[in-house]
Structure 1
C-alpha cells in the first residue's frame, strides 16, 4: 500500500510539474491546438470557444524534430460532447486481478511468426486491419504539391475531430437536412439504456486499457517498424515510443512519419523525387499497411512526413498507394486506407496506366479467398467492411458488387457466431470451422482479430448482443488476469484495438483522448 501511494504521489508530482512548470524538460514537442479536421478530412471552422486538446506531435524544429519543449497550458473551454467469458479453464471476470497492481510488461521485440495450424494463413498477425474511421466519405486527399508547411514550420496537428469514430452502417441513413427542409426539426433521438451486463464491462475495459496503455511504449532499439506499428494500433495518436536519444517517450506516429529508425529500419524512401513506403520484413508486411493504420488513427492527409530533409505529407503516401495498385495482388490494406481517405466515387490511374476505383478494389478483394488470407482473412473482411461503410455513408447505390459485398459480410457474421465457443472466444481455427485450442496466445490472436472485424462491421445495435458481450468479456478477462504475460505484439495490438473500438462505439469514449484523460486523473 505504501509503495502504491508513493507511486501515485510520484505521478501527481510528475504531471503537476509537466503541466504548471515552464522550465521542465520533455522528450517530445507538445502541440496545443484546436481540432482542425473531421475524420473524413473535411475542414472544420475553428472557433475561439472550441476545446483545446494536447496532442504529442512532431515539433517545429526541423534540425531536432523531437527536441524537448515545455507544454503550453490550455485555456479553459466548454467541454465537447463525446463521440459516440469466462475461460473454460476457470478464468472468470469476478476472479480477475486488478491490472493496476501488476508491474509494467516488457516491450519485447517479436517478429511475425509462422503458425502451425491447418489454417493456411500462417502469418501471426502481420496486418493492421480495421475500419476504424467513421469517415469513409472522405474528402479527396490534399495534393502532394501542398505540403503541410506553415509559416512557423510547424506540421499539421496529429489529431482528429471530436466526432471521429468508426463508421457504422446505420449512420449512412442519416442524411443532412436540405435547405428547403430547414424548418422541419428532426425528432430527438432517445438513447436506449445499456443492458446491465454491458454497463458492468465499462469499468473493467477502462481498467485494462489504462494498464496496458501505461505499459505500452514501444522501444525504437528493440522493435522494428512492423512491431512499432502494431504497438500504436490501439492507441493511435496517443501512442508513445522509447528512443535512445530522449529521456522521455516520444509520439510513435510522429517518430515513424519523420522516418526515424525502429531497430535500425526506416519505413520511407525517396525515388525520382517521390515518397515511397517500403514493404517487406521489419518494415510493413503488406502494401498500404501503414497508411491503413494512420486511417484507423484518424490522422489527416495534411500531416507531415519528413524523409532525408524533404517535406511530404500523408497525401503523398496516399498517392503512392493509389499509383501502385496492381490486379490480382493483395489489396486489402489499400482498400482499408483508400476507403477512408478518398471519396467513395473516386477514380485514379495507376503507374501502369490502368484505371482504378474503390469499386474495382472491392471486386479484386471479394474474388480472393478469405480462408488462408492474412490473419485468417479478418483483414480482408475488414477492408470489405470499410468499403461498404464508405459507400453507404456517401449515399451511393448499393447494387451489383456492393450488394454482394453486404451479403458476404452478413454471411461471415453468422458464421462467426455459429462457431463461437461457449466461453465467448471465437474459433482458434479462424473461419475454417470450430476450434478451441488451449493455448492462450492462440486464443487471443484469433478472438481478438475476429472481434475487431465484427465491431467494425456489425450494425451499432448488435454491439450489445449476447454474442458480442460474451466475446468482449472473454478478451477483457484474459488480459485482465494475465497482465504479466508476454503477449506477442501483433495479437495483443489487435485485441486491445478491439476493446478500444468497443469503448468508443458503445461507451462513447473520444478517440485520441487517453493521454489527456490520464493527465486529468493524475491532477485529480
Structure 2
C-alpha cells in the first residue's frame, strides 16, 4: 500500500481527474499532507480539494457522485482532525450541502433519485438505470449526511426503495459497477445506523489540532455605505 500511495503522490497532475487521488491520499496521508511530485513540484492536500471543487459539474462521472463522495470523505477527515472548515475545505462543504439539497429536491415519489442526478428531476422504469443513479446518489449521501439526518423520511424512503429493488430484481443481469455503488451505500447506511456505528466516515488516523493555534482569519462585517439624504419634495399645488 505504501508503494501505491507514494506512486500516486509522484504521478498527481493538474490536467487529470483528481477524484481517486484525493480519496486515497487524504485517507493515508491526512488533510495537512505536503509532498513533491515526480517533477519536484510541491503539492498540498488543499490543492487536490481546490482541483476537485473546480472540476465538479453535472458532466462529471456518474453525475459528479464520485467527486462528491471523495470531497465528503476528505471533508470528514479534515473535521476529524479537529480543524474548522475554511478556504477550499469550506467551499467543498458548501458544494456538498448544495448537492444534498438538490438530491432531496429531485427525488421521485417512489423514493428513487433522479435519473439525471443533480441536473433535473426525472424517473426511470428500468431497474439497471435506477440501480445506477439511486445507488450512486445514496452512496454519496451516506458519506455526506450528518447522523441527525439519517432518519429523515426522504432518506429512509430511498434506502427502502433501493434495497427492495435489488431483492425484487435479484435474477436480473446488472452492471457490476452500479451494483457495487448501490451495495456500498446500503452498507454504509446499515453501519451508521448500528449501535456500534462501524462506518468509517473519513480517516481518524490523524491527531486533532489545537484550535487555539490554528491561524483563522476573522473577517470584519461589511459596513454598508451611507445613504445620502434626499432633498424634500415641494408641496403639492
Question: Deviations 1:369-420 (Å, cap 9, x if unpaired)?
Answer: 3211111110011111111111111112311111111111111100110000
List structure 1 runs of 4+ shifted beyond 6 angstroms.
none
Q: Find the counterpart in structure 1 of residue 78 from structure 2.
A: 391
TM-score (norm 2): 0.81
Find out whether 1:467 has 2:154 as its counterpart. Answer: yes
1:343: how far off? 2.2
- In structure 2, what is the Cα distance between the partners aligned to 1:382 and 1:397? 20
Find out whether 1:374 has 2:38 as its counterpart. Answer: no
C-alpha contact (below 8 Å) 1:424/1:470 kept by paired residues: yes
- In structure 1, what is the Cα distance between the partners aligned to 2:164 and 2:2? 40
- In structure 2, what is the Cα distance between the partners aligned to 1:409 and 1:510? 23
Find out whether 1:319 has 2:6 as its counterpart. Answer: yes
Q: Find the counterpart in structure 1 of residue 219 from structure 2.
A: none
Question: Deviations 1:78-110 (Å, cap 9, x if unpaired)?
Answer: xxxxxxxxxxxxxxxxxxxxxxxxxxxxxxxxx
Q: 1:380 to 1:323 in 2, by over 3 A?
A: same
Q: 1:510 to 1:404 in 2, by over 3 A?
A: closer
C-alpha contact (below 8 Å) 1:370/1:378 kept by paired residues: no
Q: Secondary structure at the residue paired with 2:30?
A: coil
Q: Secondary structure at the residue paired with 1:356?
A: strand
Q: Find the counterpart in structure 1 of residue 32 from structure 2.
A: 345
C-alpha contact (below 8 Å) 1:335/1:361 kept by paired residues: yes
Find out whether 1:446 has 2:140 as its counterpart. Answer: no
Q: Find the counterpart in structure 2 of residue 418 from structure 1.
A: 105
Q: Find the counterpart in structure 1 of residue 87 from structure 2.
A: 400
C-alpha contact (below 8 Å) 2:192/2:198 kept by paired residues: no
1:354: how far off? 1.4
Q: Find the counterpart in structure 1 of residue 179 from structure 2.
A: 492
Question: Which is strand-richer, 1 or 2?
Answer: 1
- In structure 2, what is the Cα distance between the partners aligned to 1:341 and 1:460? 24
Question: Which is helix-richer, 1 or 2?
Answer: 2
Q: Find the counterpart in structure 2 of residue 109 from structure 1.
A: none
- Runs of 5+ in structure 2 lacking a partner? 200-237
C-alpha contact (below 8 Å) 1:323/1:349 kept by paired residues: yes
Q: Secondary structure at the residue paired with 1:348?
A: strand
With CA pairs under 8 Å and 6+ residues apart, which has the higher RCO, 1 or 2?
1
Q: Find the counterpart in structure 2 of residue 163 from structure 1.
A: none
Q: Find the counterpart in structure 2 of residue 435 from structure 1.
A: 122
- In structure 2, what is the Cα distance between the partners aligned to 1:490 and 1:367? 26
C-alpha contact (below 8 Å) 1:358/1:387 kept by paired residues: no
Q: Secondary structure at the residue paired with 2:174?
A: coil
Q: Secondary structure at the residue paired with 1:464?
A: coil
1:467: how far off? 1.0
Question: Deviations 1:114-139 (Å, cap 9, x if unpaired)?
Answer: xxxxxxxxxxxxxxxxxxxxxxxxxx
- In structure 2, what is the Cα distance between the partners aligned to 1:327 and 1:488? 31
- Runs of 5+ in structure 1 lacking a partner? 1-313, 512-524
Question: Deviations 1:265-284 (Å, cap 9, x if unpaired)?
Answer: xxxxxxxxxxxxxxxxxxxx
Question: Deviations 1:281-323 (Å, cap 9, x if unpaired)?
Answer: xxxxxxxxxxxxxxxxxxxxxxxxxxxxxxxxx0110000111
- In structure 1, what is the Cα distance between the partners aligned to 2:186 and 2:30? 28
C-alpha contact (below 8 Å) 1:444/1:491 kept by paired residues: yes
How many residue pairs were aligned? 198
TM-score (norm 1): 0.37
Q: Find the counterpart in structure 2 of residue 354 from structure 1.
A: 41
C-alpha contact (below 8 Å) 2:127/2:169 kept by paired residues: no
- In structure 2, what is the Cα distance between the partners aligned to 1:328 and 1:368? 10
